[in-house]
Structure 1
Amino acid sequence: MNATTAPIPFFSGAQSVRRDWPRLEARIREVAASGQFTSGPVTAELEAAVAERTGARHAIAVANGTDALVILLRAAGIGPGDEVIVPAYTFFATASAVLHVGAEPVLVDVLPGSYAMDPERAEAAVTERTKAIMPVHLFSQMADMETLRELSDRRGLLLLEDSAEGIDMRAGGIHAGLWGSGGVLSFFPTKTLGSLGDAGMLLTNDDDIAGHARRLRCHGQDTDGEYLYHEIGYNSRCDELQSAFLLHRLERLSEEIERRSELAARYDRALAPLAPQVTTPWMAPAKTPSNQVYYVYLIECDRRDELVAFLDAHGVGTEAYYPRPLTEQPVLAPLDGARHPVPVAAAASRRALALPLYPDLADEQADRVCALLHAFYGDQS
């Protein structure tokens, strides 16, 4: 097998780990020697580093990004009887986190380009039970946060952010997750800043939310009294090995984001001749536009499922983000919140496809992916 036939996975970080193993091994040995494996000094160091990078007053490490969402919602006071407006085009955890705290997700359509919550649709969905709106920042750019903050202020709603993919995304100098009461980060391995397994973080500038979140991540234990509990929380601690790995990755984050941008530009140039059968990523209008940070490179394309099969047959991994809107998920279908039309989300679910994009991807591999797309659609250059 040579470079022209070797499989191209949708994601791989193996090369980076091999390159950095001597430094990583030294850090892991330090953790092993310390005898403290969870919620220790390395995790505190990670929290401080992320807080400094994002500008958050509080960065609170937890076991994964979904836990971060659940804890954020509870810490912000969301519970039974409340409605939370969320986009219909997102990962299931956005809605399931709302259900976990006893509230109801109200699903609204998204905007083309950003795939983020449509502010007009969000406002139309506000009822007397609405407690919060929770936009999601997807793929490479933030939602229109200035417009959404104006909406939340005008209607007296909490503004929360599912910013799981949003590390280093900023609009008007404000980091994703910090436009309202709080947001989250996911460190799932494929993320822009990924761990060796699962980890997550809650970001907030609100002291009360931060204090509540810190209690909830440790079974509800009062931070001022050991083994003192006033509520039921979760066992959601970030372990020291993940924190050590993330601290190392954080040192390389800027160069890795730049590499992702280089690969995205390479895709842009090579795939432009395939329009209109292939639409490459574009920045959606916003009052305060964000920078682009490519978590994935998402195209919209004709005959999406046929293209997936063709690329798979040639050893190229892809991911359909997302093959159906949340309104079509069986567990959410009975909700009154699934009552709004979502034509943009429905169309994207049939056409959207993420191509391989990660720092270890070689230029030659990206070129081969593009050549296969040209072969599938017929070379139009």
Structure 2
Amino acid sequence: MAFDIPLFDLNFDEREAEAVAETVRSKWISMGQKTVELEQRFAQRLGVKHVIAVTNCTAALHMACVLADLKPGDEVIVPSLTFVATANAVRYTGATPVFADIISSRNLNLDPDDVVRKITPRTRAILPMHFGGFPCQMERFVEIADENRLVLIEDAAHTIDVDYHGRKLGTWGRFGCFSFFSNKVITCAEGGLLTTDDDALAKRAKLIRSHGMTTLSYQRAQGHATRYDVVESGWNYRIDDIRASLALVQESKLDDVLSNRRQKRKLYEKALADVSGIIIPFAGTSEGSANYIMPIVLDGGGEVRRDAVRDFLAEKGIQTSVHYPAIHRFSIYSGNHDLPTTDYVTDHLITLPMYDSLTEEQIVRVADTLKQAINSVTV
């Protein structure tokens, strides 16, 4: 189905095309100098000592879990209202993800109080995710982690370059994990970053990113090394210079992109103000946000009514989504989970269109059509 107003759209132009062409003309397209430049640029932007560019955020999350020394029998507290990679990365190490609830329908982030309730002698880490680019209560999570000697890993897939109480999101924990997937705030199709201030962990991260090898192909091609050793098991989680060149152009646009999205969020809140029967999560917040997505929560009716509202919008040419189907309901994670707020939100959540070229006229149309849907849909 073709949509008049899609869920997202790329902010690409000739600069991205030229950057890729330049990298191709250089005749070095795998991980090399462009990747190094990308890491340096984001280290400066985020105010963190080490940035390791990887093939996607899932790889960054997996590496963080490995570097946190997670193993079978360990537990990691995670949200269920997130993409499944957050929990899968824990399972890759043999550890068990333990799901904690979100705060409310108005704040879709991990609830620190429920995290405390879920801590056991087997808990080794906490892995909050900044939903929609809005900050979790990081001071609380730092305090909880310190008091219980837990590793704090930030899933920053929804955010990038957002200030929170004097620090950037993704730099509060021992590790931060960022995403450059195609529909993210900035993108290189597939890509991610792992951040840390720990020198030893950064050194090991670079090893396990590339098979545990002590030197890279680019270093050998430049004559800086002629051989390599393999000092531990690792993976092929390297990004390449083609994608790094895309990410560099996108980084140069980031300030404008974030400003643009803040404005679109304000326009949405204004346009949705007289739509009854919905909750706008994070409405009126004074905290910064990357505004990755525009979520709303319907006031009752369940999954059937939510889906009917989405169908109404689709028939009118407006694409929506659901961020996210709760992980604890997937077959692989099924069990006895006490997550009443997550259960409610995942059945009533709709993600509205959000992208850089979205116009005020389109935002008003989305709001008006949503109002029509809510008033007309009965189940």
Instruction: Name the TM-score, length of structure 2 as normaliser.
Output: 0.90
CA distance in 1, matches of 2:270, 2:3: 24
Matched, 1:373 2:370: yes
Matched, 1:120 2:113: yes
Contact 1:187 1:194 in 2 (8 A): yes
Q: By how many angstroms is 1:140 displaced? A: 3.3
**Alpha-carbon deviations, 1:99-141, whole Å to 9, x = none?**
0111111111111233111111111111111111111111031
Contact 2:298 2:349 in 1 (8 A): yes
1:249 corresponds in structure 2 to 250
1:349 corresponds in structure 2 to 346
Structure 2: segments with no counterpart, 5+ residues: 217-224, 300-304
Contact 2:211 2:234 in 1 (8 A): yes
Aligned residues: 360
SS of residue paired to 2:200: helix
CA distance in 2, matches of 1:135, 1:177: 10
2:140 corresponds in structure 1 to 147
Q: By how many angstroms is 1:367 displaced? A: 1.7
2:279 corresponds in structure 1 to 279
1:106 corresponds in structure 2 to 98
SS of residue paired to 1:274: coil
1:18-37 correspondence to structure 2 within 5 Å: 20-21=13-14, 23-37=15-29
SS of residue paired to 1:120: helix
Within the candidate set 288, 293, 305, 2:290 is matched to 293
1:73 corresponds in structure 2 to 65
Q: By how many angstroms is 1:340 displaced? A: 4.3
CA distance in 1, matches of 2:46, 2:155: 15
1:310 corresponds in structure 2 to 312
The alpha-carbon distance between structure 1 residues 284 and 331, as it changes in their structure 2 partners (threshold 3 A), is farther
What value does the CA root-mean-square deviation take over the aligned residues?
1.9
Q: By how many angstroms is 1:355 displaced? A: 0.4
Structure 1: segments with no counterpart, 5+ residues: none
CA distance in 1, matches of 2:235, 2:333: 24
Contact 1:57 1:205 in 2 (8 A): yes
Q: By how many angstroms is 1:247 displaced? A: 0.9
1:39 corresponds in structure 2 to 31
CA distance in 1, matches of 2:337, 2:144: 18
- Quick one: percent identity of the two aligned structures? 34
Matched, 1:90 2:82: yes
The alpha-carbon distance between structure 1 residues 283 and 202, as it changes in their structure 2 partners (threshold 3 A), is farther
Contact 1:321 1:352 in 2 (8 A): yes
**Alpha-carbon deviations, 1:256-281, whole Å to 9, x = none?**
11111111111111111113x11123
Matched, 1:213 2:205: yes
Contact 2:3 2:318 in 1 (8 A): no
Contact 1:9 1:356 in 2 (8 A): yes
Q: By how many angstroms is 1:210 displaced? A: 0.9
Contact 2:108 2:281 in 1 (8 A): no
Between 344-353 and 32-41, the greater mean CA deviation after superposition: 32-41
CA distance in 2, matches of 1:165, 1:41: 27
CA distance in 2, matches of 1:319, 1:87: 19
Contact 1:160 1:183 in 2 (8 A): yes
Instruction: Name the TM-score, length of structure 1 as normaliser.
Output: 0.90
CA distance in 2, matches of 1:194, 1:33: 22
Q: By how many angstroms is 1:343 displaced? A: 0.6
Between 358-367 and 36-45, the greater mean CA deviation after superposition: 358-367
**Alpha-carbon deviations, 1:68-126, whole Å to 9, x = none?**
10011111212222111111211100000000111111111111233111111111111
Q: By how many angstroms is 1:283 displaced? A: 5.6
The runs of at least 4 aligned residues of structure 1 exceeding 3 Å deviation read: 223-227
1:233 corresponds in structure 2 to 234
CA distance in 1, matches of 2:337, 2:115: 10
Matched, 1:138 2:139: no
SS of residue paired to 1:273: coil
